[in-house]
Structure formats: C-alpha cells, structure tokens
C-alpha cells in the first residue's frame, strides 16, 4: 500500500538528509522507474509483459537465432514504446542530483535509454540497451534511429546496411551473460557506496537483485522506493512505498532546495 503525502514527507526529509551527508550515493533502478513514461514492465498483474508471454519462448538468444521472426514480432510493441517515450520526472530528478554532485552513478536494469536522455551521465546499463544494434555478421554497430524506422513501420526485421545480416539489439536476452565490464562497475559502485537508493524494481531478477545485499554487506544504508514489497524491505533503512515519479522529484527538491 502506498503511503499518503503526510506519511511520506518525514521519510523523504530524512532520506534527503542522508543523501546530503553521503560521500558516495548511487541508485539501482528497474522497470517501475519507466512505467510513468508509458513503458510496460514485465511482472505487473494484467499489464506485465511476462503475463502475456513465456520469456524463454520470445526473449531468449535461442529464439533470436532460430526464430527471429517471433523475436522481432514480440519486441515490436515494446520497441515502439521505448523509442517514443520521454523521460519522466523521476528520470529528471536523478539527472539533477547527479549534476549537483549528490549522486555518483545510476545502475539500471532498464534498456530504454531514458536515464541518458534525461541527462544522467554515469549510467551502468546492466541489461544492455535498445539504443543500438549490432550486426551478427560483420559486427558493425548502428544507433537505433539509423536502422529501426522500417522495422517500426512495417515490422521488417532490421538488417545491416553493409552486409545484409540481421541486426541484434544490444539488449541482454535470456541465455546471455551480462556485459562484464558494466556489471563489474555496478558491483564496485555498490561495494563502495555509503548510500544505495533502490527504486522501481521488485528485486526478483538475479544477479541484479543481489546488489542491495552487496551494499548492505559493505556497510551502506539502503533506501527502498517502490510500489510493492521486496525481499530487502526488512533490512532497508528507509522504505518509501509510492510512485517514483512523485517521490523522486520531491526528494531532489528537498536535497537541492530544502
């Protein structure tokens, strides 16, 4: 259950003070961070993508390799949402906090690129990004706007303009490993931080779900900002139950002008 504004404000104020005192604060974001921008998440009842599809049947490396038509048919509506979506107030709040020096890194499970588009600079996209695609033949990399228009208009599988092979979006599929360098940077940030914000994620996907434990083990404080409960709530120093697009701007405002 979300908290009322009267219940949230004291916790936001306390968390703002912790953020002001922190030497190295970072944030981990998940799908709930982008749902206010109109991008569906994966697990919400009724609207979540995995309530409509079996993940291994549509979003695996095997499906991409052996049945690319099915893979790109599944991806099409999500791709349309991602490329047309705009950063919401929660994304903008993080960019403001980073610019002011209060936030050192954004670790995100999201593939939509909205943190970058909002102005965040130090972003670790541990599940990859849909903002670029790589040819499976010649390995040339393309920015999505260069090659994706025909796919969005006509559902035509995107192909390399140099060699004609299929382009794979630079997102991490089931059966793929996380990008090693990005993952190690994310782990290092959680090992180093003295405050970890966790926002808009149910913490059900490994290995990213263990990052709050990494921070706790290193002695950091953890703040949970989410609509639903997570396994880490009982160990978190702050739990703010509500909409990130309302809480994060209020937090930024309290930090910057409170």
For the chain, list residues with pLDDT below 70. 1-5, 41-56
Domain ranges of the chain: 1-39+87-127+178-258, 43-84+131-171
What pLDDT, on the 0 to 100 scale, is given for residue 2?
54
What pLDDT, on the 0 to 100 scale, is given for residue 57?
83
- Which of 156, 146, 77, 144 minimizes the C-alpha distance to 117? 144
Measured CA to CA, the distance from residue 248 to residue 229 in angstroms comes to 18
Query: In sequence order, which residues have a C-beta less than 8 Å from that of residue 125 and are 6 or more positions away?
Result: 108, 110, 111, 113, 179, 182
What pLDDT, on the 0 to 100 scale, is given for residue 125?
98
- Which of 52, 41, 63 minimizes the C-alpha distance to 168? 63
Catalytic residue IDs: 127
Measured CA to CA, the distance from residue 149 to residue 226 in angstroms comes to 34
CATH topology of domain 43-84+131-171: SIR2/SIRT2 'Small Domain' (3.30.1600)
What the block records as the tokens of 3 is 């908290």
- Residue 31: C-alpha distances to residues 28, 163, 253 (Å): 11, 35, 23
Which residue has tokens 């499976």? Answer: 136
Q: What is the dihedral of CA 109, 111, 114, 116, to 10 degrees?
A: 80
The CATH architecture assigned to 1-39+87-127+178-258 reads 3-Layer(aba) Sandwich (3.40)
Beta strands 25-29 and 221-226 are unpaired
What pLDDT, on the 0 to 100 scale, is given for residue 258?
74
Q: What is the pTM of this model?
A: 0.92
Other CB atoms within a 10 A radius of the CB of residue 70 amount to 14
- Which of 171, 185, 197 minimizes the C-alpha distance to 29? 197
Q: For 104-117, what is each residue's pLDDT tens digit?
A: 999 999 999 999 99
């Amino acid at each position: 259950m979300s908290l009322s504004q009267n219940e949230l404000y004291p916790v936001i104020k306390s968390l703002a003070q912790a953020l002001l005192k922190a030497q190295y604060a970072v944030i981990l974001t998940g799908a709930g961070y982008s749902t206010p921008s109109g991008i569906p998440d994966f697990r919400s009842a009724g609207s979540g993508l995995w309530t409509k599809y079996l993940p291994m049947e549509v979003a695996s490396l095997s499906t991409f390799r052996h049945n690319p038509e099915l893979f790109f048919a599944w991806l099409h509506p999500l791709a349309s949402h991602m490329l047309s979506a705009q950063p919401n107030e929660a994304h903008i709040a993080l960019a403001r906090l980073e610019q002011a020096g209060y936030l050192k890194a954004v670790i995100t499970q999201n593939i939509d690129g909205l943190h970058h588009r909002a102005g965040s600079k130090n972003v670790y996209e541990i599940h990859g990004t849909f903002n670029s695609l790589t040819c499976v033949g010649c390995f040339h990399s393309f920015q999505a706007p260069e090659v994706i228009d025909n796919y969005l208009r006509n559902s035509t599988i995107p192909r390399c303009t140099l060699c004609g092979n299929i382009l794979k979006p630079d997102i991490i599929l089931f059966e793929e490993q996380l990008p090693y360098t990005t993952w190690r940077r994310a782990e290092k940030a959680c090992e180093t931080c003295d405050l970890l914000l966790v926002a808009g994620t149910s913490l059900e996907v490994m290995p990213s779900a263990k990052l709050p434990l990494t921070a706790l083990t290193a002695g950091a404080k953890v703040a949970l900002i989410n609509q639903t409960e997570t396994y880490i709530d009982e160990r978190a120093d702050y739990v703010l139950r509500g909409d990130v697009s309302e809480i994060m701007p209020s937090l930024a405002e309290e930090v910057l002008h409170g």
